[in-house]
């Protein structure tokens, strides 16, 4: 009788230890899952407007560097060093904002050439073959010198990360051109001179971008870009 009681006690102890181990393992799995769920997720440009603005600025600076390396001149090394410092600062901002560090995006679009309208060879209803073509409307008079002319319709605007007085860079307008950039989301405008080349129609430096930005945003999606001089 004593042997049976001893074996029964041992079995109970073994079962109790096994249950504790299973419970502990489950708690460990739950804790691990909870910790994994709390790990911060790196945001891509598609996830955040802030990340998209920083990625666009980084891409514009990389494009500028590529252009300088493809066609160098006496000042190219200094310009490249300056833009590399800007890229390093943008990466710091990406990390601080939880964005993918080093991700770049391009918002520049090549200028599209106007295609001539094709004439429909089929006569329109009521028009007989051989009739002289209808006279076109007279061309509208050219805009007076100094007036604003909208350019780069549909382009977004971001910042280059460069310091200094308010200025812009562009891949379409030479240095000395005056551009007015309006943020249509808050109706703020800035008028600046183009001082250098970049990878987009209008890229504002930090001071100019601060004049038209919305708090916390690094990209102007609805921008009106005008050439005023």
What's the confidence (pLDDT) of residue 74? Answer: 86
What's the confidence (pLDDT) of residue 192? Answer: 96
What Cα–Cα distance (Å) separates residue 200 from each residue in 10, 32, 139, 175?
79, 46, 31, 14
What Cα–Cα distance (Å) separates residue 48 from each residue in 2, 103, 126, 172?
73, 13, 56, 28
Within 10 A of 164 (CB to CB), how many other CB atoms are there? 10
Q: What gap in Å lies between CA 151 and CA 172, rounded to an integer?
A: 10
DSSP state of 200: S
What's the confidence (pLDDT) of residue 111? Answer: 37
What's the confidence (pLDDT) of residue 59? Answer: 86
In the chain, where does DSSP find H-type helix? Answer: 2-38, 49-70, 76-96, 206-212
Is residue 150 a contact partner of residue 225, using CB atoms and an 8 Å limit? yes
Tens of pLDDT, residue by residue, the chain (229 residues): 455 555 555 555 455 545 544 444 444 444 444 454 555 678 777 777 888 888 888 888 888 888 889 989 888 888 888 888 888 888 888 888 888 898 887 644 433 333 444 444 444 444 444 545 555 444 434 445 457 899 999 889 988 888 899 999 998 999 999 999 999 999 999 999 999 888 889 999 999 999 999 998 889 999 999 999 8
What's the confidence (pLDDT) of residue 157? Answer: 93
Report pTM: 0.52
What's the confidence (pLDDT) of residue 108? Answer: 40
DSSP state of 1: -
Helix (H, G, I), strand (E, B) or coil at 225: strand
What's the confidence (pLDDT) of residue 38? Answer: 53
Give the list of residues 6+ apart from residue 211 with CB closer than 8 angstroms, or none: 166, 188, 189, 190
What's the confidence (pLDDT) of residue 18? Answer: 53
What's the confidence (pLDDT) of residue 116? Answer: 42
What's the confidence (pLDDT) of residue 210? Answer: 94
Within 10 A of 180 (CB to CB), how many other CB atoms are there? 18
Q: What gap in Å lies between CA 225 and CA 1, rounded to an integer?
A: 98
Angle at 153 between CA 148 and CA 156, to 5 degrees: 110
Q: Tell me how many helices (H) and strands (E) the chain has.
A: 4, 8
């Amino acid at each position: 009788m004593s042997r049976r009681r001893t074996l029964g006690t041992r079995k109970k102890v073994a079962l109790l230890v096994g249950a504790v181990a299973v419970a502990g393992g489950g708690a460990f799995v739950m804790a691990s899952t909870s910790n994994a769920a709390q790990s911060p997720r790196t945001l891509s440009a598609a996830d955040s407007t802030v990340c998209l603005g920083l990625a666009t600025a980084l891409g514009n600076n990389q494009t500028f560097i590529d252009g300088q390396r493809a066609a160098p001149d006496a000042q190219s090394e200094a310009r490249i060093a300056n833009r590399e410092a800007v890229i390093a600062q943008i990466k710091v901002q990406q990390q601080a904002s939880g964005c993918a560090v080093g991700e770049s995006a391009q918002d520049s679009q090549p200028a599209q050439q106007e295609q001539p309208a094709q004439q429909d060879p089929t006569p329109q209803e009521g028009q007989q073959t051989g009739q002289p073509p209808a006279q076109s409307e007279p061309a509208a008079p050219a805009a007076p010198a100094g007036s604003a002319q909208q350019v780069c319709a549909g382009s977004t605007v971001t910042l280059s990360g460069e310091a200094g007085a308010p200025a812009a860079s562009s891949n379409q307008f030479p240095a000395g051109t005056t551009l007015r950039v309006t943020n249509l989301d808050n109706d703020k405008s800035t008028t600046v001179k183009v001082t250098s080349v970049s990878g987009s129609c209008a890229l504002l430096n930090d001071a100019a971008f601060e004049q038209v930005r919305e708090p916390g945003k690094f990209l102007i999606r609805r921008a009106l870009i005008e050439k005023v001089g």
